[in-house]
């Protein structure tokens, strides 16, 4: 096999999984270029579904596992308990460090403190003028992707997401769905090891005219203060791109949030970043590969985002659908339905 140069921008889950897969199945030179000075934390609640265990995340690096969770709506409190884990939490730095170690062992080079500013069909250039030539480029550079911008791909569907990281421990995973407080989205409580992520995310394109991002933040903060002591909490915010418009553009590919693979329903993106990165590696090595993971992600995204559209179509109807959906979560059929969009 002829050796080629592959440049991946971004050492997050999408970039790292792509690099690992490329090295597993080829002898290509794989370089990850990362703007941070080291493998870093990313603003995230760290919630993962047990399906993610099946994609190379060992249980040893999981923070906490839960076989129960609570869903609260305006009129219902639903408690779900299973005899196996249904949600887990992970620290993002731990995840990235684990994946980076694996990538390095396979021969991937990771270059830090290099902020890519310019891109053409053969090379990328950093803010300091360093140039790297490539045969293939993968933009795994997150929601504000410079590779995506360079391809002139618009981003219209974005979740504005924020969270408090509150020092301490909490026993429960919770979802709070209250359209009057958070719009047609939800607030989460995801306990990690010694810290609790409490946050919300919403696509403001769906909001009423007089509901701004500041209203969402104020409502969230008031709600949060009733439940938790925020004195030593850290406020964090970032966007989640779920505006998928393709992943393959000649010799340039987009993976993870850069491509908009996150779910517009839940904001979940770690699993989809890992899977899309893997599939892109397989596609580069074998152009006939049918990208089965990406097709699966797109199917889940479509179902979830259709549900979001339906809920937002009419406020009265939206509230009824949420209550009905929550009610059915107690049943086997409801759980099966939920699994199709999550
Ligand atoms: C508040 C919040 C809570 C969330 N909670 C969850 C959750 O509970 N579960 C879940 O599954 N998902 C969650 N997500 C979504 C999840 O964080 C993303 O979907 C996931 O990080 C996408 O991975 P990625 O590898 O595509 O991008 P990222 O993780 O964003 O990684 C991109 C990397 O590229 C680097 N980079 C960017 N630009 C450049 C450049 N120009 N040059 C060099 N390097 C660059 C960045 O430094 C970064 O390391 C949450 C997101 C937010 C904002």
pLDDT in tens, 315-326: 888 888 888 888
Nearest Cα to Cα of residue 82 among 303, 319, 339, 269: 339
**What separation in Å is there between the alpha carbon of 328 and the centre of ligand 1?**
32
**What separation in Å is there between the alpha carbon of 159 and the centre of ligand 1?**
13
Q: Looking at ligand 1, which residue's alpha carbon is closest to its atom 31? A: 12
In this predicted structure, what is the pLDDT of residue 101? Answer: 97
Question: For residue 312, what pLDDT band results from cuts at 50, 70 and 90?
Answer: confident
Distance in angstroms (rounded) separating the CA atoms of residues 47 and 205: 25
Distance in angstroms (rounded) separating the CA atoms of residues 61 and 39: 16
21 neighbors 140 (Cβ within 8 angstroms): no
Question: For residue 181, what pLDDT band results from cuts at 50, 70 and 90?
Answer: confident
234 neighbors 192 (Cβ within 8 angstroms): no
- ∠ CA 127-14-18, nearest 5°, is 100
Q: DSSP assignment, residue 71?
A: E
Residues near 206 by beta carbon (within 8 Å), at least 6 away in sequence: 183, 184, 308, 312
**269 CA: nearest ligand 1 atom:** 19
Mean pLDDT of 187-198: 96
Mean pLDDT of 245-271: 97
Q: What share of the chain is helix, strand, coil (3-state, %, to 5)?
A: 35, 25, 35
Mean pLDDT of 110-119: 98
**What separation in Å is there between the alpha carbon of 311 and the centre of ligand 1?**
27
**What separation in Å is there between the alpha carbon of 9 and the centre of ligand 1?**
12
In this predicted structure, what is the pLDDT of residue 119? Answer: 97
Lining ligand 1 with CB less than 6 A are 9-15, 33-36, 42-48, 115-116, 140-142, 146, 161-163, 199, 238, 240, 256-258, 262, 267-271, 273
In this predicted structure, what is the pLDDT of residue 253? Answer: 98
- ∠ CA 87-44-141, nearest 5°, is 120
14 neighbors 277 (Cβ within 8 angstroms): yes
Q: Looking at ligand 1, which residue's alpha carbon is closest to its atom 3? A: 44
pLDDT > 90? residue 295:
yes
In this predicted structure, what is the pLDDT of residue 38? Answer: 97
Probe residue for ligand 1, chosen from 42, 91, 198 as the CB with the greatest number of ligand atoms within 8 Å: 42
In this predicted structure, what is the pLDDT of residue 288? Answer: 97
Tell me which of 105-119, 187-201, 303-317 is least confident: 303-317
pLDDT in tens, 2-57: 789 999 999 999 999 999 999 999 999 999 999 999 999 999 999 998 777 667 78
* Higher pLDDT pick, 181 / 134: 134
CA-based diameter of the chain, in Å?
62
Residue 277's SS3 state is helix
**146 CA: nearest ligand 1 atom:** 41
Question: For residue 342, what pLDDT band results from cuts at 50, 70 and 90?
Answer: low
**What separation in Å is there between the alpha carbon of 257 and the centre of ligand 1?**
7
Fold of the CATH domain 5-341 = FAD/NAD(P)-binding domain (3.50.50)
Question: For residue 64, what pLDDT band results from cuts at 50, 70 and 90?
Answer: very high
Domain boundaries, the chain: 5-341
In this predicted structure, what is the pLDDT of residue 196? Answer: 97
Mean pLDDT of 56-73: 90
pLDDT > 80? residue 335:
no
**What separation in Å is there between the alpha carbon of 38 and the centre of ligand 1?**
15
Q: pLDDT averaged over the chain?
A: 92
Probe residue for ligand 1, chosen from 33, 235, 240, 304 as the CB with the greatest number of ligand atoms within 8 Å: 240
Question: For residue 298, what pLDDT band results from cuts at 50, 70 and 90?
Answer: very high
Mean pLDDT of 163-179: 93
In this predicted structure, what is the pLDDT of residue 125? Answer: 98
Mean pLDDT of 203-215: 81
In this predicted structure, what is the pLDDT of residue 53? Answer: 66
Distance in angstroms (rounded) separating the CA atoms of residues 126 and 138: 15
**What separation in Å is there between the alpha carbon of 327 and the centre of ligand 1?**
33
Mean pLDDT of 58-82: 91
């Amino acid at each position: 096999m002829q050796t080629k140069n592959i440049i991946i921008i971004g050492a997050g889950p999408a970039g790292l999984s792509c690099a690992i897969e490329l090295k597993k199945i080829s002898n290509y030179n794989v370089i990850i270029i990362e703007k941070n000075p080291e493998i870093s934390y990313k603003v995230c609640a760290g919630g993962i579904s047990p399906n993610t265990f099946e994609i190379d995340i060992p249980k040893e690096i999981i923070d906490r596992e839960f076989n129960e969770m609570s869903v609260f709506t305006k009129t219902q409190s639903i408690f779900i308990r299973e005899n196996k884990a249904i949600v887990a939490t992970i620290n993002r730095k731990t995840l990235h460090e684990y994946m980076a170690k694996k990538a390095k062992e396979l021969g991937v080079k990771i270059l830090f403190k290099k902020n890519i500013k310019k891109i053409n069909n053969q090379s990328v250039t950093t803010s300091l003028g360093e140039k790297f030539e490539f045969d293939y480029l993968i933009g795994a550079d997150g929601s504000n992707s410079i590779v995506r911008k360079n391809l002139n791909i618009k981003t219209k569907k974005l979740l504005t997401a924020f969270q408090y990281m509150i020092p301490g421990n909490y026993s429960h995973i919770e979802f709070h769905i209250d359209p009057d407080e958070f719009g047609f989205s939800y607030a989460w409580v995801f306990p990690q090891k010694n810290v609790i992520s409490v946050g919300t995310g919403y696509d403001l394109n769906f909001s009423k005219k007089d509901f701004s991002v500041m209203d969402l933040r104020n409502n969230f903060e008031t709600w949060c203060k009733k439940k938790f002591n925020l004195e030593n909490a850290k406020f964090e915010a970032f966007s989640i791109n779920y505006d998928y418009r393709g992943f393959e553009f000649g010799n340039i590919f987009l993976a993870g949030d850069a491509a908009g693979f996150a779910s517009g329903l839940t904001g979940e993106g770690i699993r989809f970043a890992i899977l899309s990165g893997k599939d892109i590696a397989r596609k580069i090595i074998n152009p006939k590969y049918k990208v089965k993971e990406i097709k699966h992600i797109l199917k889940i995204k479509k179902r979830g985002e259709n549900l979001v559209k339906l809920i937002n179509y009419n406020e009265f109807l939206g509230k009824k659908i949420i209550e009905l959906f929550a009610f059915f979560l107690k049943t086997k059929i409801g759980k099966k339905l939920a699994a199709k969009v999550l």
